[in-house]
Amino acid sequence: MSILKIAQMGHPVLRQQCEKINPEEITEFAVQQLIRNMLETMIEYNGVGLAAPQVHNPVQLALVGGETDEEGKQILRVIINPEITVIGDEKFGMYEGCLSVPGLRGYVERPSHILVSAYDEKGDKYELELEGFPAVVMQHECDHLQGKLYIDRITDTTKLAFEDEAARFLPVDLTTDDEEGASD
């Protein structure tokens, strides 16, 4: 396995529409190796999610965390060629961070309740309903696959801040490893 270099904001790979992966190729070596290397990279940089374009590979694949099971254990999903359907009109807002936009936090509001359909790492199609924080992480990663960054969705730029200042002045606790301190 390898730790991959993370593309930083300004690199064009973060701004392109990513290619779909042929579902029949998901179980082949190239895709499986990319998933393994992305997992190692995400763990190394303490991300809650990671999209393939962030490691200079513009295909529709991402790792998405943020969910926990009944015992509080983290669930990590692999999503390939995802499609999101918004359920209802409730919004969920939080300070987001991104490994491709290091050092910054910005307040973004997104739909709170979504349905995702995607292929998993075995090439099986699945559907998943998410609400709140896990729904935010999912939408953040799916945005990456469309060439979008969370900063594009900030409507109030007074709520964009450097991490240190955010920790001092904004109502978000970045000192702990909680949800709002996470980057993806």
Cite the active site residues.
141
- Assess 98 for contact with Zn ion (CB under 5 A): yes
- Assess 84 for contact with Zn ion (CB under 5 A): no
Q: How far is the CB of 142 from Zn ion (least distance, A)?
A: 11
Q: How far is the CB of 150 from Zn ion (least distance, A)?
A: 6
Cβ-closest position to Zn ion:
98
Scored b (16 or more CB within 10 A) or e, 50-83 reads bbbbbbebbbbbbbbbbbeeeeeeeeebbbbbbe
Closer to Zn ion at the Cβ: 121 or 184?
Answer: 184
Closer to Zn ion at the Cβ: 3 or 87?
Answer: 3
- Assess 79 for contact with Zn ion (CB under 5 A): no
Q: Select the span of 9-17, 71-79, 95-103, 116-124 touching Zn ion (CB under 5 A).
A: 95-103
- Report the interface residues with Zn ion, using CB under 5 A: 98, 184
